[in-house]
């Protein structure tokens, strides 16, 4: 049997996560190569003196991330794409809402008038849950301990303590492969994306592939980046990688953990195919990890960047985990791309505000960020459950997608419903929701089923149930009349 040299720290708990991390490290270092057959879960469990369920959980997680392949009759093996330097071609340094902007992506323009009683427009966390007191305490600590020198012009890539803190955090929580030097602090995912698009254009890219549907908030920025946008279909497994390969683009923006807006999780096969595509075309995958902190029914699938750090740029922010108003985010990029992003910041805006960066670093280091996320996960899960159950009751003919993660649901309305009319009737009843039509390309919008995108983070369970009832009436009354 392969000697895996996995060591476990039993006092630290989370044994399945430790086993998974050990495998990822072994694959990245080249100690475990593609095709290597792994011991059965029973054998490994005996070897490590853990229960078999712990090993099964670790194997399932790694399979979902594309590190392992499990085939009936052939056991579990290291996936052929799990190690970046196994491709024939050696990887070269990587090349590099419309309406309702005040609300969420795809939020409808709100006519002047009374604010909705039930606001289910997507894109915002529960803003009333921002940990104000703890943030004040952390910011005070950060300011008190900051050397005077830190108040000068900052490192345009971000303050060192935050880059290191995020590298460790993203490695632990998202299975990212991050060295602090590869982490560049940006003002959110949107800022990271616009900077990367400028770099791509400078590096000679002519096109950017984008999922169809996608977040309308980011579309205008992408449209003005000077790249031809190619919309690529999303199906039940996520981005259609075969269609991407036909598109001619060598860069793609994707939301693998929870497609926006449909909520589909990119399948293991598609993850592998996407990485293979990027290597084949010498391309770059821009991974928008916008709501990855929120997973309810299973462990989070690790980010794609952890599978091939030379081909993927991970983009994330605190917009959904804390508040969009902080405008704090990050890009984790291949070293050459990270260096160019730092130059870009130095040449455009001289870097991000320093006090907020120190405060976030302190918040993460002191465990406040983890604690806040644990609380919010519980809260959002209860809200999701309440809304999903109420929709089943009041809109039994609708199909609800994307329930396992994030802070919104994608609700396909019964065929024949007039989406625009439903959104308008709901608004008159005091329920603000986003129609999905504007998130599709004009070509696909014609055939896409009518759908709503419902953000549930900001309303308590009782209000969500009432909103679903009113929404049900907005749909059925239209059908009657």
Residue of 50, 183, 190, 257 interacting with ligand PLP (CB under 6 A): 190
373/292 Cα distance (integer angstroms) = 11
24/19 Cα distance (integer angstroms) = 9
| Minimum CB–partner distance for residue 329 and ligand PLP (Å) | 5
Query: Residue of minimal CB distance from ligand PLP?
Result: 188
395/468 Cα distance (integer angstroms) = 8
| Minimum CB–partner distance for residue 363 and ligand PLP (Å) | 17
How many Cβ atoms from other residues are within 10 Å of residue 291's Cβ? 25
- Which three-class secondary structure state does DSSP give residue 157? coil
Residue of 18, 41, 182, 317 interacting with ligand PLP (CB under 6 A): 317
8 A C-beta contact, residue 300 and residue 289: no
3-state helix, strand, coil in the chain (%, to 5): 45, 15, 40
| Minimum CB–partner distance for residue 122 and ligand PLP (Å) | 7
399/70 Cα distance (integer angstroms) = 31
First-to-last CA distance in the chain?
Answer: 69
Closer Cβ to ligand PLP, 123 or 402, answer by number:
123
80/26 Cα distance (integer angstroms) = 14
Closer Cβ to ligand PLP, 217 or 437, answer by number:
217
Q: For ligand PLP, which stretch binds (CB under 6 A), given 185-193, 243-251, 354-362, 445-453?
A: 185-193
Q: At what angle do helices 354-365 and 160-174 cross, to 10 degrees?
A: 40
DSSP of 405-440 = BSSEEEEEPPTT--HHHHHHHHHHTTEE-EESGGGS
Closer Cβ to ligand PLP, 21 or 359, answer by number:
359
Residue 87 is a binding residue for ligand PLP (CB under 6 A): no
Binding marks (x or -) toward ligand PLP, 239..278, rule CB under 6 A?
----------------x----x------------------
Residue 288 is a binding residue for ligand PLP (CB under 6 A): yes
Buried b (16+ CB within 10 A) or exposed e, 19-54: bbbbbbebbbeeebeeebebbebeebbeebebeeeb
Closer Cβ to ligand PLP, 81 or 189, answer by number:
189
477/481 Cα distance (integer angstroms) = 6
How many Cα atoms occupy the beta-carbon half-sphere of 39 within 13 Å? Answer: 17
Residue 158 is a binding residue for ligand PLP (CB under 6 A): no
H/E stretch holding 284: strand 284-288
Binding marks (x or -) toward ligand PLP, 373..412, rule CB under 6 A?
----------------------------------------
| Minimum CB–partner distance for residue 364 and ligand PLP (Å) | 17
Residue 438 is a binding residue for ligand PLP (CB under 6 A): no
Closer Cβ to ligand PLP, 79 or 265, answer by number:
265
| Minimum CB–partner distance for residue 324 and ligand PLP (Å) | 5
| Minimum CB–partner distance for residue 287 and ligand PLP (Å) | 11
Size of the site for ligand PLP (CB under 6 A): 17
| Minimum CB–partner distance for residue 82 and ligand PLP (Å) | 27
Residue 440 is a binding residue for ligand PLP (CB under 6 A): no
Buried b (16+ CB within 10 A) or exposed e, 164-174: bbbbbbbbebb
- Which three-class secondary structure state does DSSP give residue 376? helix
418/451 Cα distance (integer angstroms) = 9
Tokens 């392949």 locate to 69
CA 234 to centroid of chain Cα atoms: 16
Q: For ligand PLP, which stretch binds (CB under 6 A), given 18-26, 211-219, 355-363, 465-473?
A: 211-219
Q: For ligand PLP, which stretch binds (CB under 6 A), given 149-157, 188-196, 292-300, 374-382?
A: 188-196
Q: For ligand PLP, which stretch binds (CB under 6 A), given 70-78, 187-195, 410-418, 449-457?
A: 187-195
Q: For ligand PLP, which stretch binds (CB under 6 A), given 8-16, 128-136, 186-194, 262-270?
A: 186-194
| Minimum CB–partner distance for residue 222 and ligand PLP (Å) | 11
Residues in contact with ligand PLP by CB under 6 A are 104-105, 123, 188-190, 215, 217-218, 255, 260, 288, 290, 317, 319, 324, 329
């Amino acid at each position: 049997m392969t000697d895996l040299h996995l060591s476990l720290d039993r006092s630290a708990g989370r044994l399945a996560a430790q086993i998974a991390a050990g495998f990822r490290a072994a694959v990245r270092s080249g100690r475990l190569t593609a095709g290597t057959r792994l011991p059965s879960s029973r054998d490994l469990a005996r070897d490590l003196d853990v229960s078999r369920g712990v090993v099964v959980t670790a194997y399932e997680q790694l399979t979902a991330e594309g590190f392992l392949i499990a085939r009936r009759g052939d056991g579990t093996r290291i996936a052929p794409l799990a190690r970046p330097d196994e491709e024939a071609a050696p990887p070269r340094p990587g090349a590099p809402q419309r309406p309702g902007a005040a609300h969420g992506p795809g939020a409808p323009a709100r006519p002047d008038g009374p604010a909705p009683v039930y606001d289910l427009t997507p894109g915002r966390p529960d803003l009333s849950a921002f940990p104000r007191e703890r943030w004040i305490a952390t910011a005070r600590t950060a300011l008190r301990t900051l050397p005077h020198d830190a108040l000068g012009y900052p490192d345009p890539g971000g303050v060192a303590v935050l880059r290191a803190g995020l590298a460790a955090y993203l490695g632990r929580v998202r299975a990212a492969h991050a060295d602090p030097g590869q982490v560049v602090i940006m003002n959110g995912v949107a800022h990271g994306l616009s900077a990367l698009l400028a770099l791509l254009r400078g590096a000679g890219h002519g096109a950017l592939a984008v999922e169809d549907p996608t977040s309308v908030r980011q579309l205008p920025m992408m449209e003005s980046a000077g790249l031809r946008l190619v919309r690529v279909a999303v199906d039940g497994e996520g981005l259609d990688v075969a269609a991407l390969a036909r598109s001619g683009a060598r860069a793609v923006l994707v939301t693998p953990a929870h497609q926006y807006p449909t909520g589909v999780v990119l399948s293991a096969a598609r993850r592998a195919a996407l990485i293979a595509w990027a290597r084949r075309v010498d391309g770059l995958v821009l991974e928008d990890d916008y709501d990855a902190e929120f997973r309810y029914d299973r462990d989070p699938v690790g980010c794609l960047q952890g599978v091939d750090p030379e081909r993927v740029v991970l983009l994330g922010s605190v917009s959904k985990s804390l508040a969009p108003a902080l405008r704090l985010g990050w890009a984790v990029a291949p070293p050459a791309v990270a260096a160019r992003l730092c130059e870009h910041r130095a040449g455009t805006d001289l870097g991000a505000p320093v006090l907020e960066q120190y405060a976030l670093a302190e918040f993460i280091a002191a465990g406040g960020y983890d604690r806040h996320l644990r609380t919010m996960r519980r809260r959002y899960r209860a809200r999701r459950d309440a809304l999903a159950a109420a929709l089943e009751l009041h809109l039994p003919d609708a199909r609800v997608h994307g329930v396992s993660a994030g802070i919104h649901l994608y609700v396909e309305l019964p065929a024949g419903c007039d989406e625009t009319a439903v959104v308008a009737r709901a608004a008159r009843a005091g329920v603000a929701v986003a129609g999905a039509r504007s998130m599709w390309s004009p070509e696909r919008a014609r055939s896409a089923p009518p759908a709503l995108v419902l953000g549930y983070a900001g309303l308590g369970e009782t209000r969500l149930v009432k909103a679903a009832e009113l929404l049900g009436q907005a749909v059925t009354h239209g059908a009657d009349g």
